[in-house]
Amino acid sequence: MRLLLTACATTALVVAGPLTATAAGQGPQVPVGGDLLTAKPTVVAKGATPPAVQASAYVVADIDTGQVLAAKAPHAKLRPASTLKALTALVLLPRLKKTDPVIGSDADAGIVGSKVGVYPGLRYTVDLLFQGMFLASGNDAVHALCAHDRGGVPATVQRMNAKAKEIGALDTHVTDPTGLDADGQYSSAYDLALFAKAGLARQDFAKYAATKYTNFPNVGNKGTYQVANQNKLLFGYDGALGVKTGYTTLARNTFIGAARRNGHTLVVTMMNAPHGITEDASNLLTWTFTNYGKLKPVGTLVKPAAVPPKAQPQDRSGTTKPNPGTARQPQARTALNPGQAVQSLAFRVPAWAYAAPPVLLLGLFLRRPRTLRRRRH
């Protein structure tokens, strides 16, 4: 009986174990973007030696071709600070109408961190709040925009995490759309490059990122005050496209910058830098432009996942209406080889089913000694 029980238990582990491991990690576990793009603090470049920079992690990539041309710890999970606002913008820009009015609230004005000056009771447009978010890194502007969207901040956080997965930014986890130091919030230099690539493909994102100055209303509608973009590349680097800066005590300096020269559009991202981030970014960009012809890619920026089909419309009762163009189409089926078919069937069996035979046999095994003891009496 003991041998039979052991055999059943072993069989259950052999069947369930490998299938669970396969399901949990479908495909080989390699760094996103290529084998050389790891979290190790090693500079990776081919064709020329990049200048030394102080950031713990960085990526330089051509966002037109997707080629990563130099990197250091590109997948190290670090605090993003306000560079995370690039992902916030990717989520909010297609959802909000630029001309919509937004009234400032106490919650907007009371948020901690950097602010552009959103006051309770003052009227702003969505467009102006996006400017305050990009130029001044205003957490108050971010909060106002999130509150204006359906579901508020919690829904925005969920959408940001979903968007990160959609574009392949698997190092990123969001808990606060402002980028403030929050438990469980992190990203990587590689993911910041993906944010920039996706963002600069949008005309509105690119416009906000490259805007140097804007004006915000004073309290009581008494004139305006000027707000300047915190990305200093825009003011001193030829071809600069801006994007986003960040800083917190724990994250230190973080950075997303881009520039276009000689038909090439490059992005540079840096994380956990003590100081001199604009100079380091300029040096990396200039080095890449200068040596572009002899540099060989060390990885790639992955392409976004296929956009899922739009949800079917619902009538007022909440019943989903079938799409006339697709209602009668047969469901697509994928042919499986015998091994895959067995594995697919095994995945459909509940996990408790594998443990049922051993448990039943264990019950029989435990009851038998009691029966034997009664017979002895």
- Could you list the active site residues? 82, 85, 137
Identify the CA nearest to 108 among candidates 76, 143, 77: 143
Burial of 346 (0-12, 13-18, 19+ CB in 10 A): middle
Which residues are annotated as part of the binding site for substrate? 244
* CA 303, 230, 88, 184 torsion-angle sign: positive
| CB-CB contact of 172 with 163 (8 Å) | no
Residue type, 25: G
Positive or negative: CA dihedral 259, 262, 265, 270: negative
With residue 264 as reference, give the H or E element that holds it. strand 264-273
Residues 103, 109, 106, 187, CA torsion sign? positive
Tell me the backbone φ, ψ of residue 29, rounded to 5 degrees.
-85, 90
Q: Locate tokens 């380091």: which residue? A: 280
Measured between alpha carbons, how far is 140 from 134 in angstroms, rounded to an integer?
12
